[in-house]
Amino acid sequence: MKLSMLGLAMALASQAALAATPAPPLQDKQAFIEHLIQQMTLDEKIGQLRLISIGPEMPHAKIREEIAAGRIGGTFNSRTAPENRPMQDAAMRSRLKIPMFFAYDVIHGNRTIFPISLGLAATWDMDAIAKVGRTSAIEAAADSLDMTFAPMVDIARDPRWGRTSEGFGEDTYLTSRIGQVMVKGFQGSSPANPDSIMAIVKHFALYGAVEGGRDYNTVDMSLPKMYNDYLPPYRASLDAGAGGVMVALNSINGVPATSNTWLMNDLLRGEWGFKGVTISDHGAIQELIRHGVAKDGREAAKLAIKAGIDMSMNDSLYGEELPGLVKSGEVTQAELDQAVREVLGAKYEMGLFKDPYVRIGKAENDLKDYYADARLHRDAARDVARRSLVLLENRKETLPLKKAGTIALVGPLADAPIDMMGSWAADGRPAHSVTVREGLRRAVGDKAKLIYAKGSNVTGDKAMFDYLNFLNFDAPEIVDDLRPAAVLIDEAVKAAKQADVVVAVVGESRGMSHESSSRTTLEIPAIQRDLIKALKATGKPLVLVLMNGRPLSIGWEREQADALLETWFSGTEGGNAIADVLFGDYNPSGKLAITFPRSVGQIPMYYNHLRIGRPFTPGKPGNYTSQYFEEPNGPLYPFGYGLSYSSFEVSGLQLAKNQLKRGDTLQATVTVKNTGKRDGETVVQLYLQDVSASMSRPVKELKNFQKLLLKAGESRTVTFSISEDDLKFYNGQLQRVAEPGQFNVQVGLDSEAVQQQSFELL
């Protein structure tokens, strides 16, 4: 008793001495943060680990009280300066005045909405994507936000997964490149800049590989597949400087990511040397109980913090359980301090200790209308959107359309402002969306007659309709036209009969490609297919404009349509961008960043699969090869595919030498010619294949690409430099090696139509 009294007295004395120590200069990050940690009480430390969601229904006065008491570290979902300033003021009234940060899901724009991520990837245009990241950050920071939960770099190879729309597709290399560009766009030269926001890469890890494409399901994967295919985009985004990581909701080989010591301690912080904050996904600590790895909340909190979750997102368990766990010694002071250190470190990196109001600004500068149209970056949105559109078919030069005669515009998505934005549309407003109808109307002016008829609802399935509307709390997501389906179709057919050409905008409503919106089929809903059939029967040229957030199996639609344009959910300026392409004011240049399968039964279908012993060879079917016998094999549209109003030819692939020494580089050159009548852009893609290695390697892997603008008739030589690094992979022992032997180099304008040459790595 005596001893512990003495101990207590010493501890108090040392705390008093510390408090008396003058704070180290702000420039010395480590010393500054350590000094702060030493002054913090247990409750204040735990408070820093709590990230809470601010909804309109929240008791704001109570939240401010909690903040002033040091019990909240940051919030998300509150998104304007007038909302966030009172919370920062409360933090400035707290004992240690540790600033709050304010986060939000700024995924593909904040107020100006750009195409969904899968559409951004289809641009293959790193300048355009940089513009998306930068513009989003400028808008978000101007609205007082400090942090975004993006980029989402989960590789998705099962399009049943609704969150396929949120990522950059199936390919490791393309996703890694885009992840880096997005991080740099969000953070600018430093996340501390007043017009930068911190990027939190998600969802670490492997969320895109949930079994069966069913959201939140388990992931079971071999280590080489993880290391070679799924982990590199997270790593690349962190190497680009992302300040933090959001941890995934799924388990990995039986251990939930949120309690996965291997994932966060060994791999992320150990192997990769990551120094930054980790944040759990929404409610994920609590979910450890349902995963069946924690018997109660106390154990869940203990597992999460020990595995390396610094900050808990909208989860009460850290607040409730950590005090007891630390007092009992089950969670050590050092473990707690480490988590606090990372949260404070992130705040430091966001420039908040220097100026807690760096993005909130002064009240006198608050805007009257945060939603004013004048605040949008419409030119940037239109430019990026038109680059994201992928022309899939164009028979008999149906496109571009003439701005003359009569055009019938039909389809449930032709005039759908909410759907234009896609899911996770941040603070975008449907009223700002230019729909396809509006885009076409503006484009034709009085030069052509535009007749509009809805033609069908998005779905005729009441249960699906209710599900989609349940997703949106503020407004109905989809509005049903209550007239019978046949009446709607009749109206559309009448419009078609009067027209020279029919443009039908069909596909998915945005809620169909969303978190928790996994599908068992990839088909366009039956009610819309009935409409297409009726339109086809009119014999008028039929242009299908697709809106969707995942590959669809559109084999039948392809046969009905004369032209097929994939437009994803193309954002605020989508309607103008689509009109630009339909009328030829912009020559389409997008290429698929994900394979389109023929049917759901072919899934998983991705271009860079491993080699096998009995591959299917097109043209030589026969028995005992790897195939499905009831439909053609191979994809409907391969990765990297997309047409233009010009035509391009690739020829004369040459390698500068046929042997590569380690440490050396090898040049591959090819000639690309625009053989069409219009100037246009295309994407020259370089794939490599390791012909014989210690493990089966993919049939090909994208390793580089260049997007080029070529004038009509122009030819250009394109050179790619191949280095030993491009040949490396993780072998069975997880060593990153380039093994000697033959490599095939393939260059083309999609992943299938390629030229090939070989060299040997010595």
Residues in contact with ligand BGC by CB under 6 A are: 105, 149, 202, 281-282, 515
Return the number of the residue (107 or 440) whose C-beta is nearest ligand BGC.
107
| Residues shown for the chain | 762
Catalytic entry in 125, 146, 171, 281: 281
CB 210 to ligand BGC: min, Å? 12
Report the C-alpha dihedral over residues 232, 210, 182, 679, rounded to 10 degrees.
100
Cβ atoms 399, 565 nearer than 8 A: yes
In angstroms, the CA 641 to CA 577 distance is 20
Return the number of the residue (313 or 524) whose C-beta is nearest ligand BGC.
313
Residue corresponding to tokens 């996904």:
281
CB 175 to ligand BGC: min, Å? 16
CB 442 to ligand BGC: min, Å? 34
CB 256 to ligand BGC: min, Å? 14
In single-letter form, the type of residue at position 666 comes to L
Return the number of the residue (257 or 686) whose C-beta is nearest ligand BGC.
257
Return the number of the residue (282 or 591) whose C-beta is nearest ligand BGC.
282
CB 104 to ligand BGC: min, Å? 8
Cβ atoms 183, 626 nearer than 8 A: no
Return the number of the residue (116 or 493) whose C-beta is nearest ligand BGC.
116
CB 281 to ligand BGC: min, Å? 5
Return the number of the residue (229 or 515) whose C-beta is nearest ligand BGC.
515
Residue corresponding to tokens 């007295």:
9
Note if the bond before 432 is cis, omega within 30 degrees: no
**Two structure tokens written together for 43:** 């409750």
Task: With CA atoms as reference, report the closest residue to 633 among 601, 586, 656, 665.
Answer: 601
CB 287 to ligand BGC: min, Å? 11
In angstroms, the CA 265 to CA 272 distance is 10
CB 754 to ligand BGC: min, Å? 36
Return the number of the residue (139 or 515) whose C-beta is nearest ligand BGC.
515
Letter string b/e over residues 611-636, b meaning 16 or more CB atoms within 10 A of that residue's CB: beeeeeeeeeeeeeeebeeeeebebb
Residue nearest to ligand BGC (CB): 149
CB 511 to ligand BGC: min, Å? 15
In angstroms, the CA 568 to CA 547 distance is 5
In angstroms, the CA 133 to CA 115 distance is 12
Q: Which residues contact 216 (CB under 8 A, 6 or more apart)?
A: 210, 249, 250, 516
Helix axes 297-307, 317-327, angle to 10 degrees: 80
**Two structure tokens written together for 668:** 């591959």
CB 605 to ligand BGC: min, Å? 25
Residue 77's CB is within 10 A of a number of other CB atoms, namely: 16
Q: Which residues contact 325 (CB under 8 A, 6 or more apart)?
A: 298, 301, 302, 305, 331
In angstroms, the CA 334 to CA 339 distance is 9
Return the number of the residue (309 or 434) whose C-beta is nearest ligand BGC.
309
Q: Residue 303 belongs to what H/E stretch?
A: helix 297-307
CB 64 to ligand BGC: min, Å? 22
Angle at 129 between CA 125 and CA 135, to 5 degrees: 145
Alpha helices in 518-668 (DSSP H): 526-537, 555-560, 574-582
Return the number of the residue (229 or 281) whose C-beta is nearest ligand BGC.
281
For residue 56, give the DSSP letter.
T
Determine whether 281 is an active site residue. yes
- In angstroms, the Cα distances linking 639 to 120, 176, 405 are 15, 16, 36
Angle at 576 between CA 573 and CA 580, to 5 degrees: 135
**DSSP symbols for 381-429:** HHHHHHHH-EEEEEGGG--SPPSSSEEEEESTTTT-HHHHH-S--TT--
Return the number of the residue (104 or 639) whose C-beta is nearest ligand BGC.
104
Letter string b/e over residues 694-705, b meaning 16 or more CB atoms within 10 A of that residue's CB: eeebbbbbbbbb
Return the number of the residue (111 or 282) whose C-beta is nearest ligand BGC.
282
Return the number of the residue (415 or 515) whose C-beta is nearest ligand BGC.
515
Note if the bond before 99 is cis, omega within 30 degrees: no
CB 282 to ligand BGC: min, Å? 4
Half-sphere exposure of 311 (CA within 13 A, CB side): 32
Active-site annotation, residues: 281
